[in-house]
């Protein structure tokens, strides 16, 4: 890539250059400045770019070439389910009748949109074995939080005000305990046992009359199915607590098992993971929440329902936790998920999980020859390797990740979960072919050889990227968070 221009958009263009094409001023103009006190009329224009339309296209095309997505190559980022984003989904989301409709239009004029949402709610309920779904949550984290708020409302409605604690496994993603705090609860950690599963004895020890809920993902963040799930449900329910399902890992079990059948009371799903909503460079996502029947009255409002063949938004929900987002959530992402579910059907979605699990196990068995595999059983959609053997050679997991960039791959999630030393959490997804997996395996095995024979090649990686390793310490110590002339 010769002739690269790394300029900021503010450093491009020239004073006086424009690229807008605004509608014409076809009404008589009035004196605006008279209407406002002087201090309300902006004295200097904000320093936005002064560029031509081609400047913009060159700039952002340049940026896109310095970025890496699923369409660029293999992206086995564990727990993020970086599967292919189907193109028909994007086309559907761009239809005028979906993308250019206003949330406050009379429901009679948006029945098509509401029908899609209603149908999606029903599909998600069926897939998870839950009674009902609210689509409103903007992302997984907001789904967790609103789910916990419903559990809080449930306990409060039962006069159970002392339930202030939520149990979270030590392998859980940091979002879980953060959501617990934001919902006004206190997190309590339960340990993982030597098999990578929740330690039942420890669970019995931490559960008590203050337990509001336990949060769990199944399969867990190690990619392992929590085989004692029914016992766990019994322990938590027996103490009067509720079971919360973090749906980050649903891609592993569609058609094989449903959270609702495992005793979960409240679940959230990430439509941008399992259901192919594109990750967008960090969002927007969507985190619908499903509940059992006893939680239906607590769902965020408004609730989409059907009355006399008409879809309506029901605001008359006195027990609801309230509104968690303006309007009805990230509708644009529902369209993608819905299109995907309709493309795959029950049969296709079961195959998705089958192949996601097959791909992960194949990758795991090939890589365990050179990398430490802390938990030996079959995995589900993802697995966690440890780089501790390579660490003894002076090569850290971070170095391996950076070296993978040279081979053209996005690395796995690293240093997570926290209970595995030098962790590499790898999730290939079902949309990757065997050739792609084999290529990645070759690269990983090659890096392992490099670690033995020429460790500096790995330690000093990446060598092929547009920039080298970044000085993150200075970035945090003396933050520069905006451009200044």
Partner 1 sequence: MEFRYLPMTESDKAEMLTTIGVESTDALFADIPEDVKFKGQLNLKKPANESTLMKELTSMAGKNANLKEYSSFLGAGVYDHYIPSVVHHVISRSEFYTAYTPYQPEISQGELQAIFEFQTMICELTGMEVANSSMYDGGTALAEGVTLSAGQTKRNKIIVSKTVHPETRAVVQTYAKAQNLEIVEIEPENGVTNLEQLEKEVDETTASVVVQYPNFFGQVEPLDKVNAIIRQQKKTMFIVSSNPLALGYLTPPGDFGADIVVGDTQVFGIPAQFGGPHCGYFATTDKLKRKVPGRLVGQTTDEDGERGFVLTLQAREQHIRRDKATSNICSNQALNALASSVAMSSIGKYGLRKMAVLNMQKARYAKQQLAAAGMPAVFSGPFFNELVIQLPGDVADINDRLVKSGIIGGYDLGFTYPEWKGHMLVAVTENRSKEEIDTFVKELGDIHG
Q: Is 134 in the site for partner 1 (CB under 8 A)?
A: no
- Residues 309-348, interacting with partner 1 (CB under 8 A): 321-333, 339, 341-348
Listed in sequence order, the residues at least 6 apart from 62 whose beta carbon sits closer than 8 Å to its beta carbon are 4, 5, 6
Q: What is the DSSP letter of 458?
A: H
Q: Is 8 in the site for partner 1 (CB under 8 A)?
A: yes
Q: Is 443 in the site for partner 1 (CB under 8 A)?
A: no
- Site for partner 1 (CB under 8 A): which residue of 78, 134, 139, 210? 139
Instruction: Name the minimum Å distance from CB 389 to partner 1.
Output: 21
The rounded distance, in Å, linking the Cα atoms of 141 and 8 is 32
Q: Where are the alpha helices (DSSP H) in 133-252?
A: 140-157, 175-182, 200-206, 229-238
Q: Is 14 in the site for partner 1 (CB under 8 A)?
A: no
Site size toward partner 1, by CB under 8 A = 200
Q: Is 351 in the site for partner 1 (CB under 8 A)?
A: yes
- Residues 91-120, interacting with partner 1 (CB under 8 A): 91-106, 108-113, 115-116
x/- track of binding to partner 1 for residues 374-413 (CB under 8 A): ---xx-x--------------------xx--x----xx-x
CA 280, 282, 286 angle in degrees (round to 5)?
80
Rg of the chain over CA atoms, in angstroms? 25
Residue among 43 and 453 whose Cβ is closer to partner 1: 43
Site stretch for partner 1 (CB under 8 A), options 124-132, 199-207, 387-395, 444-452: 124-132
Tokens of 429: 């997804």
- Residues 260-289, interacting with partner 1 (CB under 8 A): 261-262, 272, 278-286
- Site for partner 1 (CB under 8 A): which residue of 214, 253, 304, 384? 253
The answer to whether the Cα torsion of 338, 131, 295, 179 is positive or negative is negative
126-129 contacts, C-beta under 8 A, 24 or more apart: 127/250, 127/254, 127/258, 127/349, 128/245, 128/247, 128/250, 128/258, 128/259, 128/260, 128/267, 128/269, 128/290, 129/258, 129/259, 129/260, 129/261
The candidate with the shortest Cα–Cα distance to 182, out of 136, 146, 140, 206, is 146
H or E segment and range at residue 390: helix 388-392
Peptide bond into 462 cis (omega under 30): yes
Residue among 316 and 453 whose Cβ is closer to partner 1: 316
Instruction: Name the minimum Å distance from CB 399 to partner 1.
Output: 13
Q: Is 439 in the site for partner 1 (CB under 8 A)?
A: no
x/- track of binding to partner 1 for residues 218-247 (CB under 8 A): -------x-x-xx-----------------
Q: Is 62 in the site for partner 1 (CB under 8 A)?
A: yes
Instruction: Name the minimum Å distance from CB 390 to partner 1.
Output: 18
């Amino acid at each position: 890539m010769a002739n690269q221009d790394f300029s900021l958009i503010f450093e491009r263009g020239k004073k006086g250059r424009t690229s807008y094409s605004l509608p014409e001023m076809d009404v008589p103009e009035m004196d605006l400045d008279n209407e406002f006190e002087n201090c309300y009329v902006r004295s200097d224009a904000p320093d936005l770019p002064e560029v031509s339309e081609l400047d913009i296209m060159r700039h952002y095309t340049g940026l896109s070439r310095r970025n890496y997505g699923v369409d660029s190559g293999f992206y086995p980022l564990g727990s993020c389910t970086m599967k292919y984003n189907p193109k028909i989904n994007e086309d559907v989301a761009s239809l005028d009748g979906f993308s250019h409709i206003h949330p406050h239009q009379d429901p009679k004029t948006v029945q098509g949109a509401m029908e899609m949402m209603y149908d999606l709610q029903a599909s998600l309920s069926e897939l998870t074995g839950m009674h009902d779904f609210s689509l409103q949550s903007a992302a997984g984290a907001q789904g967790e939080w609103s789910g916990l708020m419903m559990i809080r409302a449930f306990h409060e409605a039962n006069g159970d005000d002392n339930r202030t604690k939520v149990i979270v496994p030590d392998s859980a993603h940091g979002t879980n305990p953060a959501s617990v705090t934001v919902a006004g609860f206190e997190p309590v950690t339960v340990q993982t046992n030597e098999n990578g599963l929740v330690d039942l004895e420890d669970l019995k020890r931490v559960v008590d009359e203050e337990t509001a809920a336990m949060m769990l993902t199944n399969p867990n963040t190690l990619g392992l199915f929590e085989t004692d799930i029914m016992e766990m449900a019994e322990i938590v329910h027996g103490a009067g607590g509720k079971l919360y399902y973090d749906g980050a890992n649903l891609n592993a079990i569609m058609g094989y098992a449903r959270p609702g059948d495992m005793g979960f009371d409240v679940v959230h799903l990430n439509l941008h993971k399992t259901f192919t909503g594109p990750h967008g460079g960090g969002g927007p996502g969507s985190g619908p929440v499903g509940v059992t029947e006893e939680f239906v009255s607590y769902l965020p409002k408004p609730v989409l329902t059907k009355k006399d063949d008409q879809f309506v938004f029901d605001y008359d929900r006195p027990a609801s936790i309230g509104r968690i987002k303006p309007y009805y959530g990230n509708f644009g992402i529902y369209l993608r998920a819905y299109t995907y579910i309709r493309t795959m059907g029950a049969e296709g979605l079961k195959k998705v999980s089958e192949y996601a699990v097959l791909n992960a196990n194949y990758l795991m068995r090939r890589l365990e020859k050179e990398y430490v595999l802390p938990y030996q059983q079959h995995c589900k959609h993802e697995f966690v390797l440890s780089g501790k053997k390579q660490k003894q050679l002076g090569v850290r997991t971070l170095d391996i990740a950076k070296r993978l960039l040279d081979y053209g791959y996005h690395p796995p999630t690293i240093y997570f979960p926290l209970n595995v030393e030098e962790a590499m959490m790898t999730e290939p997804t079902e949309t990757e072919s065997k050739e792609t997996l084999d290529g990645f395996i070759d690269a990983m095995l090659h890096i392992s050889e490099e670690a033995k024979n020429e460790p500096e090649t790995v330690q000093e990686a990446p060598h092929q990227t547009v920039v080298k390793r970044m000085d993150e310490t200075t970035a945090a110590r003396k933050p520069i968070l905006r451009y200044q002339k």
